[in-house]
């Protein structure tokens, strides 16, 4: 089955700096890659997603890049703010193939003032 690895497990940045979180996946059939943000004690919420027919997607301060050949994808957050502090999870799935999401182990992002 699919295996998703995520790095780093913790990331501390100064407010205004950029943050990058990287994930790799094992199943070349995976074609949908969402990123979720989870604040302490709260539900995971989708922040951005990308499909395998696209190499990059951007939404304001957040961008995701996908390299299908290398089977890795990354989340980029620019101009970080304290409210960006949370745990971020990457995930991968195969549309039409059961649709279940396989998650990474999460990255605890801390944005310091």
Instruction: Name the site residues for another protein (rule: CB under 8 A).
Output: 6, 31-32, 34, 36, 42-46, 49, 51, 89, 91, 93-106
Q: In sequence order, what are the residues at sequence separation of 6 or more whose Cβ sits closer than 8 angstroms to the Cβ of residue 26?
A: 2, 3, 4, 71
In the complex, minimum distance from the CB of residue 25 to another protein, in angstroms, rounded to a whole number: 13
In the complex, minimum distance from the CB of residue 15 to another protein, in angstroms, rounded to a whole number: 25
Helices (H) and strands (E) in the chain, counts: 0, 11
In the bound state with another protein, the residue whose beta carbon lies nearer, of 70 and 96, is: 96
* CA 82/CA 102 separation, integer angstroms: 28
* CA 12/CA 111 separation, integer angstroms: 6
In the complex, minimum distance from the CB of residue 113 to another protein, in angstroms, rounded to a whole number: 25
| Helix residue spans in 18-85 (DSSP H) | none
In the bound state with another protein, the residue whose beta carbon lies nearer, of 42 and 81, is: 42
In the bound state with another protein, the residue whose beta carbon lies nearer, of 41 and 113, is: 41
């Amino acid at each position: 089955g699919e295996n998703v690895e995520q790095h780093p497990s913790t990331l501390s940045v100064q407010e205004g700096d950029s943050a990058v979180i990287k994930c790799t996946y094992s199943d070349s059939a995976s074609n949908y890659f969402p990123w979720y943000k989870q604040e302490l004690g709260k539900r995971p919420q989708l922040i951005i997603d990308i499909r395998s027919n696209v190499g990059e997607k951007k939404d304001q301060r957040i961008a995701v890049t996908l390299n299908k050949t290398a089977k890795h994808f990354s989340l980029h957050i620019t101009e970080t703010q304290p409210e960006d502090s949370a745990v971020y999870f990457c995930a991968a799935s195969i549309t039409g193939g059961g649709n279940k999401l396989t998650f990474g182990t999460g990255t605890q992002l801390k944005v310091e003032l």
